[in-house]
Chain A
Amino acid sequence: MDTANTPAVEPMPELELPRTNYLNAAYGPRSWLFTRDHKRIAILYLASVTAFFALGGFFALLIRLELLTPEGDLVGPDTYNKLFTMHGIVMVFFFLIPSIPAVLGNFLVPLMIGAKDLAFPKLNLASWYVYNLGAIFTLWSIIHGGVDTGWTFYTPFSTTYSNSYVVSAALGIFIAGFSSIMTGLNFIVTIHRLRAPGLTWFRLPLFLWSMYATSLIMVLGTPVIAITLLLVAAERVLHLGIFDPALGGDPVLYQHLFWFYSHPAVYIMILPAMGVTSELVAAFSRRAVVGYRVVAFASVAIAVLGFLVWGHHMFVAGESVYAATIFSVLSMLVAIPSAVKVFNWTATLYGGAISLETPMLYALGFIGLFTIGGLTGVMVATLGFDVHVHDTYFVVAHFHYIMVGGAIMGYMGGLHYWWPKISGRLYPVFLSRLAALLIFVGFNLTFFPQFILGYLGMPRRYWSYPPEFQVLNVLSTAGASVLGLGYLLPAAYFIWSMRYGKLSPANPWGAVGLEWDTDSPPPTHNFDVTPIVTRGPYDYGQQPALAPQEAPVG
């Protein structure tokens, strides 16, 4: 049914699934729900985040349908306000932030460092349960009628004026935040302490540098939003007045505390996708990423600088002009490591041996769309410009270019690249390319018109709008339909492939990396013998299948 997915190795003999791998090592729900295997936990997360992606996508669909016409005629204004709020909460906290770290990171971090598991396997499983507990609180809000404060929960609307289920939504996010912290903590300790012999820091694949930088942010930033939302809930229940001016509080203090986490949070969402992109560009150009150390340091620089720029969300919020100036210039700085990465990836293509497999399509799409998203980011960091476009569709377009055009494309690319490793199966090539194309076209059609809408002055979170904005909104909704279709395809063929897909060899792409030196799917204990690393991460100097990063494993 599918065209030959040509691995760059000599033709293999008839393949069987490895006799015992992590998927068939034990059966039954208890073997999954009480597992300590990081690979099974990654699959558990995959199921959860996919479900929430579908839910968040459903809310987006309703939003775009409402915005087909200028009048508010599909749903009422309160319902619309709940839709965009819940779209934001679900997508940010229950999809984007966990996605790559908890699915691909959990699966790959031990494999890529030659370890049997993460440092704290039980903590890993606990993190999934904590995520689900947070999800239950949030779903409780949604089912009982929703929350309408915006995912940003600005006070005093959220503490005093909203009549929706704020407390349970805030608590849901609070709890889910601990899941994030646990994952980050696990990765930091694992990368520091469980590396295989010979695997020095500068022999780590760039995906691990990104996961490390992401984990730093998860661990340092998440507690701040935890306490902030806890205070919002306490204020709502006990009428404390910490953020409510009617009781002596300061709503701008809330914004500072909220954005202190939520800006670094966007780097939690993009850094892993950048890490995936590094892996894909290297694998499908068959050469080391240019400027390895530069890219590695850039990841850490983004994490550190990302903590210094939160005030750029508040240029017109009432912060002083001097504070705004400092945040603006620091925001200009934080863009540089990202730009440097884009140039290094592009330079990696030069002189490469490029193969346009589906993961590579996603990686190249990432580079292009992230460039646009990042450039518009520097635009909104420019003070005079931001005054006009703040809280308009320009900002909405900017962050969707980063989060959908960037982060989700990175996630999709990573799923397509490591799917053979995770499942032992190959997916249909034609459909996967079709999906990538639909996603790329649909995405741009959805969000590019929003840049124009924003500059024209259409504010965000508007249920109804002046008629002159309709044409661009219709284009955007059309694009969203294509985009949605594009996402349905992988859901379908990935599930299909688990039963009917062609079996995959251990290294279908002919890539270099410890994860490719073990079976697809790997055994529960990952490696029969602890690998001893003698080379750098992208040493394609010789035929890749013959010179893995360490001695071949059976």
Chain B
Amino acid sequence: MRTQLPLFPQAASLNAHHVDLLTYVWLIVSGFFSLLIAGLILFYMVRYRRRSPGQVGVEQAAPLWLEIAWSAIPLAINLAMFGWGAKVYFDLYRPPANAVEYFAIGRQWMWKFQHPEGNREINQLHVPVGQAVKMTMTSEDVIHSFYVPAFRLKQDVLPGRYTTVWFRPDRPGTYHLFCAEYCGTEHSLMIGSVVVMEPTDYEAWLSGSRPGVSTVDSGAQLFQSLACVTCHAPAPGMPARAPRLEGLFGRAVKLADGRTVTADDNYIRESILSPAAKVTAGWEPIMPTFQGQVTEEQLVQLVAYVKSLAAPAGEAAGTGGAAGPAGARAATSPPATPRPR
């Protein structure tokens, strides 16, 4: 633990460097204007001090060009910084196509992480350096927030839906993980660390710590055990009572009430918990709700499984019109033995 007085935390991702650069420029601009105003005040209060009891100040308006200048210049600076900040922000929400999806579930007062390979962690997240990681996150109770100062990264974690953010760590190390949205008694104890490792160390860690079944495979098992297959993947010869899910993820879906929505993570989750909210056009609203029958972990596995289902051969695997933040990862074939990536 450091005990000296550093001013900036470690920067361990590309985004962190971008944000720090933005900060340096803001500090210079802010410092300049603060010192300017403070300096002028100090100077004027001496230079124009009242020298006799009846003295009054001058009667003089500021010239129009000056009023315009000191409105336009700050506006220009603000807009420039806005543009730059917006670019950094947009990048935070556009994960690259090769980002690997990890899942986080926050609850009072701990973080539960799930690797794609199936490894689970509590309050600690191991990731390999140099790999883009996309976090898909939800909460089991109240709003939390996933905050890693070293990555200059934060995203609220909400109950009832998924939120996502991504990062690519660029130096190994152990970095603070904080919950940054007040969530009750032990909010300040809902902390942990993100451990960034060299790829070989990471592989070793993965296989060393009980790998278990991959998230997608767990989802496939649930898909069977909860009888989703009955309607969504019936045996040949049985009637089709629900749309098939291959290639669904990322595609535009026409609903019975006329709207068209994109099938993203939240859509899949909502369809499991509240199927009547968005009924696909042309199908009867007969899907039962699984509210209360699946945990958030199980939901995450089911969603991962559905996302992994590739479109049947001969049909374009669509991301038609998808505007979601997800970097759709094309699926592979049915469950195989889990392999470290």
Interface residues of A (CB under 8 A from B): 6, 8, 72, 77-78, 81, 148, 150, 154, 156-157, 160-162, 245-246, 248, 250-252, 285-288, 290-291, 294, 315-318, 321, 324-325, 328-329, 332-333, 335-336, 339-340, 342-344, 346-356, 364, 367-368, 371-372, 375-376, 378-379, 381-388, 390-392, 452, 455-457, 459-468, 471-472, 510, 540-544
Whether A368 touches B50, Cβ cut-off 8 Å, given contacts A156-B159, A316-B145, A351-B58, is no
Q: Check if A376 sits within 8 Å of B30, measured CB to CB.
A: yes
Whether A316 touches B74, Cβ cut-off 8 Å, given contacts A328-B82, A352-B57, A371-B37, is no
Taking the closest CB of chain A, its distance from the CB of B267, in whole angstroms, is 15
Taking the closest CB of chain A, its distance from the CB of B27, in whole angstroms, is 9
How many contacts between A and B, using CB within 8 angstroms? 279
Within 8 Å of chain A (Cβ to Cβ): is B41? yes
Q: Check if B188 sits within 8 Å of A462, measured CB to CB.
A: yes
- Taking CB atoms and an 8 Å cut-off, the chain B residues in 76-114 that contact chain A are 78-79, 81-82, 84-90, 92-93, 108
Taking the closest CB of chain B, its distance from the CB of A94, in whole angstroms, is 21
Whether A77 touches B154, Cβ cut-off 8 Å, given contacts A376-B30, A378-B81, is no
Residues of B close to A294: CB separation below 8 A: 67
Whether A383 touches B41, Cβ cut-off 8 Å, given contacts A388-B19, A459-B147, is no
Residues of B close to A81: CB separation below 8 A: 182, 184-185, 187
Residue of B53, B59, B81, B89 near A8 (CB, 8 A) is B53
Whether A287 touches B158, Cβ cut-off 8 Å, given contacts A161-B184, A459-B180, A464-B188, is no
Within 8 Å of chain A (Cβ to Cβ): is B65? no
Residues of A close to B232: CB separation below 8 A: none
Bound-complex Cα distance A367 to B59 (A)? 22
Residues of B close to A375: CB separation below 8 A: 29-30, 33-34
Q: Check if B81 sits within 8 Å of A382, measured CB to CB.
A: yes
Taking the closest CB of chain B, its distance from the CB of A89, in whole angstroms, is 14
Taking the closest CB of chain B, its distance from the CB of A170, in whole angstroms, is 17
Q: Check if A382 sits within 8 Å of B26, measured CB to CB.
A: yes
Bound-complex Cα distance A352 to B47 (A)? 9
Residue of A332, A390, A471, A510 near B180 (CB, 8 A) is A390
Whether A461 touches B182, Cβ cut-off 8 Å, given contacts A251-B158, A329-B82, A467-B1, is yes
Bound-complex Cα distance A162 to B79 (A)? 41
Bound-complex Cα distance A29 to B159 (A)? 53
Residues of B close to A335: CB separation below 8 A: 74, 78
Within 8 Å of chain A (Cβ to Cβ): is B54? yes
Q: Check if A466 sits within 8 Å of B19, measured CB to CB.
A: no
Within 8 Å of chain A (Cβ to Cβ): is B18? yes
Whether A391 touches B41, Cβ cut-off 8 Å, given contacts A286-B50, A315-B89, A384-B89, is no
Within 8 Å of chain A (Cβ to Cβ): is B155? yes
Residue of B29, B81, B87, B145 ringed by the most chain A CB atoms within 10 A? B81
Bound-complex Cα distance A456 to B20 (A)? 11
Whether A318 touches B156, Cβ cut-off 8 Å, given contacts A349-B44, A364-B41, A382-B85, is yes
Q: Check if A387 sits within 8 Å of B30, measured CB to CB.
A: no
Residue of A8, A291, A340 near B61 (CB, 8 A) is A291
Q: Chain B interface secondary structure, helix, strand, loop or mixed?
A: mixed
Whether A349 touches B48, Cβ cut-off 8 Å, given contacts A285-B57, A383-B85, A455-B8, is yes
Taking the closest CB of chain A, its distance from the CB of B60, in whole angstroms, is 6
**Can you list 23 residue pairs at the A/B interface with Cβ under 8 Å?**
A77-B186, A154-B142, A285-B57, A286-B55, A287-B58, A328-B86, A329-B86, A333-B78, A351-B60, A371-B34, A382-B82, A383-B82, A384-B19, A384-B22, A384-B85, A387-B89, A387-B153, A391-B181, A456-B8, A456-B9, A463-B187, A541-B56, A543-B56
Whether A352 touches B44, Cβ cut-off 8 Å, given contacts A251-B159, A371-B37, is yes
User: Which residue of chain A is the closest to B182 with respect to CB atoms?
Assistant: A461
User: Which residue of chain B is the closest to A475 with respect to CB atoms?
Assistant: B5
Residues of B close to A462: CB separation below 8 A: 187-188
Q: Check if A457 sits within 8 Å of B149, measured CB to CB.
A: yes
Residues of B close to A321: CB separation below 8 A: 89-90, 93
Whether A391 touches B180, Cβ cut-off 8 Å, given contacts A6-B53, A285-B48, A316-B155, is yes
Having A245-B160, A346-B44, A368-B41, one finds 16 other A-B pairs with CB under 8 Å, namely A161-B141, A162-B184, A251-B158, A251-B160, A285-B57, A294-B67, A316-B145, A336-B71, A349-B44, A354-B57, A375-B34, A383-B89, A384-B86, A387-B92, A388-B153, A457-B147
Taking the closest CB of chain B, its distance from the CB of A229, in whole angstroms, is 18
Taking the closest CB of chain A, its distance from the CB of B9, in whole angstroms, is 5
Question: Can you list the 4 inter-chain pairs with the closest CB atoms, starting with the nearest?
Answer: A245-B160, A384-B88, A457-B149, A287-B57
User: Which residue of chain A is the closest to B94 with respect to CB atoms?
Assistant: A321
Whether A288 touches B59, Cβ cut-off 8 Å, given contacts A383-B89, A459-B147, A471-B5, is yes
Bound-complex Cα distance A468 to B50 (A)? 49
Whether A72 touches B44, Cβ cut-off 8 Å, given contacts A355-B49, A375-B30, A459-B179, is no
Whether A154 touches B182, Cβ cut-off 8 Å, given contacts A245-B160, A355-B49, A391-B154, is yes
Whether A461 touches B187, Cβ cut-off 8 Å, given contacts A336-B78, A385-B23, is yes
User: Which residue of chain B is the closest to A287 with respect to CB atoms?
Assistant: B57
Q: Check if A317 sits within 8 Å of B180, measured CB to CB.
A: no
Residues of B close to A315: CB separation below 8 A: 89
Bound-complex Cα distance A375 to B189 (A)? 32
Taking the closest CB of chain B, its distance from the CB of A378, in whole angstroms, is 6
Q: Check if B142 sits within 8 Å of A156, measured CB to CB.
A: yes
Residue of A150, A335, A388 ringed by the most chain B CB atoms within 10 A? A388
Bound-complex Cα distance A17 to B5 (A)? 57
Taking the closest CB of chain A, its distance from the CB of B11, in whole angstroms, is 11
- Taking CB atoms and an 8 Å cut-off, the chain B residues in 173-196 that contact chain A are 176, 178-189, 191
Whether A385 touches B59, Cβ cut-off 8 Å, given contacts A349-B44, A464-B189, is no
User: Which residue of chain A is the closest to B27 with respect to CB atoms?
Assistant: A379
Taking the closest CB of chain B, its distance from the CB of A406, in whole angstroms, is 13
Q: Check if B181 sits within 8 Å of A154, measured CB to CB.
A: yes
User: Which residue of chain A is the closest to B40 with respect to CB atoms?
Assistant: A346
Bound-complex Cα distance A197 to B58 (A)? 28
Bound-complex Cα distance A150 to B152 (A)? 24
Bound-complex Cα distance A45 to B182 (A)? 33
Residues of A close to B86: CB separation below 8 A: 325, 328-329, 383-384
Residues of B close to A390: CB separation below 8 A: 154, 180
Residues of B close to A343: CB separation below 8 A: 70
Bound-complex Cα distance A78 to B158 (A)? 22
Q: Check if B141 sits within 8 Å of A354, measured CB to CB.
A: no
Residues of B close to A339: CB separation below 8 A: 70-71, 74
Q: Check if A368 sits within 8 Å of B38, measured CB to CB.
A: yes
Residues of A close to B150: CB separation below 8 A: 457
Residues of B close to A154: CB separation below 8 A: 142-143, 181-182
Bound-complex Cα distance A354 to B181 (A)? 47
Bound-complex Cα distance A379 to B85 (A)? 9
Residues of A close to B274: CB separation below 8 A: 248
Within 8 Å of chain A (Cβ to Cβ): is B259? no
Taking the closest CB of chain B, its distance from the CB of A477, in whole angstroms, is 16
Residue of A342, A376, A386, A452 near B37 (CB, 8 A) is A342
